[in-house]
Amino acid sequence: MVDYDYKKPKSLKEVFGLLKKYGPKATLIAGGTDVMINIRNRELSPEILISLRGLSDLCYIRKNNGYHIGALTTHRMLEQSDMVRAGLSALHDAASQVGSVQIRNVATVGGNICTAAPSADTAGPLLALDATVALEGPNGRRRVPIADFFTGPSETVRKGNEVLVEFDIPEEPGHFGSAYWKHSRRKAMDLPLLGIAVGLALSESQEISNARLGLTVAAPVPIRAYKAEEFLIGKRLGDDVLVEAGKIASSEASPRDSLRGKAWYRREMIEVFVPRMAKLAAERIRGE
Amino acid sequence: MKKVSISFTLNGDKVTAEVPPSWTLLKTLREYFELTGPKEGCGTGECGACTVIVDGKAVNSCIFPIPEVEGKSVTTIEGIASKDGTLHPLQKAFIENNGVQCGFCTSGMIMSAKALLDHNPDPTEDEIRTGIAGNLCRCTGYVQIVASIEKAGELIRQKK
């Protein structure tokens, strides 16, 4: 068993002080559902864990000139929020399918994004919802679009002395809906072998005024399917248009063969689920 | 090995544990307090055999760092019967409906079910299955387990 010290600071200032003192010997821990397992599997052997769970003021879901979600918000809080269900449906779809109740009760959305697994469930929806990530360091705060946040598997633009503190999601003008499909073999306790998130804005005449597609496990990092989005914008919602968008999105992906699925299969499933999630987003706009 | 002092409420009693900060809640419950109801199955939050309730919420105690329970209230399977020995409705229902086969998953199943019924004493079958989705029964006796939880809900509603 790995032996380590454990600190639970009460303020970000204290966190920055500890990070400066211990440097790479320290690991940040939020809900711990990844960190504790990595320690057990000897993939991580920190000398000290710095818990962020004492920062209770980073645990919130607010709507005020857009949506604001604190990094320590748990998946369970997102799942149980009517505001998230109604306004950020794709994120609700994702959060309520992570792990189990026990996992969702502790696992945080900030942790899910900072772990930066190619399969992170909340990453696709946050891409489709055009979220911005707020990172705070000793010298202040900076904001990064989530599309620029991931740099590789388990790698992000977050620096060692920074803490992810908040997600900001703009409120879309007009009729906006979103949906996420977690493609996995089991309903619970499984990672997606593909994740498809679609955010869609429609005019009264069913013309697509805005579209964003977030794909996970489709490339080394969660990606936007920009070409498919560009194709969709300005078109009238219809089967032919959505099928074509699925094909374009599939061509933008670079999935790999893995134990859980082959690349060709993932490509075909992108073609299937991009249209289905776009339709579900549209149904949600119409309140069906 | 350096030790820390962690104070919390365990099954209604104020307690203090002197354990290394790298211990998990499960290890502390089993090895410090000798409460062996919570089990270690996978040790990675997959199987739910270690499920306990912390401040009203079901958690996997095998990946819950012990320093995080400071000041909190922890309930294990040992703490759900009345002090006079009267079993909790879930315990009665699991016995009567054959919700127990080998028994390894049982304490975790009951703690997940308790967290569910404490908030919602009249869950649908879907809600029950979601509530115990993080608890694996390798005897695969899920039908009796779901029936037991339904029955326990009934018993709890009658009492109110």
Listed in sequence order, the residues at least 6 apart from B130 whose beta carbon sits closer than 8 Å to its beta carbon are: A101, A188
Residue B145's CB is within 10 A of a number of other CB atoms, namely 28
Are the C-beta atoms of residues A111 and A30 closer than 8 Å to each other? yes
Residue A1 — very low, low, confident or very high, per pLDDT cuts 50/70/90?
low
Mean model confidence pLDDT for chain A: 96
Mean model confidence pLDDT for chain B: 97
Residue A255 — very low, low, confident or very high, per pLDDT cuts 50/70/90?
very high
Task: Sketch the domain layout of chain A as residue ranges.
Answer: 5-51, 56-169, 175-285
Are the C-beta atoms of residues B47 and B9 closer than 8 Å to each other? no
With a cut of 90, say whether residue A187 has pLDDT above it.
Answer: no
CATH topology of domain A5-51: 3.30.43
Look up residue A261 and give its amino acid. Answer: G
- Span A175-285: which CATH code? 3.30.390.50
Q: Is the dihedral of CA B103, B108, B112, B115 positive or negative?
A: positive
Closest Cβ opposite residue A103 in set B2, B4, B134: B134
ipTM score of the complex? Answer: 0.96
Listed in sequence order, the residues at least 6 apart from A154 whose beta carbon sits closer than 8 Å to its beta carbon are: A115, A116, A117
Closest Cβ opposite residue A5 in set B2, B45, B57: B2
Closest Cβ opposite residue A102 in set B20, B43, B48: B48
Task: Sketch the domain layout of chain B as residue ranges.
Answer: 4-79, 89-159
- Span B89-159: which CATH code? 1.10.150.120
CATH of A56-169, one of 3.10.180.10, 3.30.465.10, 3.20.20.100, 3.40.50.920: 3.30.465.10
**Would you mind telling me the total number of residues written for chain B in this entry?**
160
**Would you mind telling me the total number of residues written for chain A in this entry?**
288
The half-sphere exposure of B8 on its side-chain side, counting CA atoms within 13 A, is 23
Task: Collapse the DSSP code of B75 into the 3-class scheme (helix H, G, I; strand E, B; otherwise coil) and give the result.
Answer: strand
Task: Return the number of CB contacts < 8 Å for A and B.
Answer: 83
Give the rounded percent of residues in chain B with a pLDDT score beyond 70.
Answer: 100
Q: Please name the residue of chain A whose CA is at the shortest distance from the CA of residue B47.
A: A189
Q: Pairing state of beta strands A48-51 and A194-202?
A: unpaired
Q: Pairing state of beta strands A48-51 and A5-7?
A: parallel
Question: Residues A36-63: pLDDT tens digits?
Answer: 999 999 999 999 999 999 999 999 999 9
Are the C-beta atoms of residues A148 and A157 closer than 8 Å to each other? yes
| CATH class, B4-79 region | alpha beta
Does the beta-carbon distance from B48 to A100 stay under 8 Å?
Answer: yes
Question: Residues B48-58: pLDDT tens digits?
Answer: 999 999 999 99
Q: Is the dihedral of CA A32, A33, A36, A39 positive or negative?
A: negative
The pLDDT score that the predictor gives to residue A201 is: 96
Mutate which: B19, B22, B128, vs A, most A CBs within 10 A? B22
The pLDDT score that the predictor gives to residue B124 is: 98
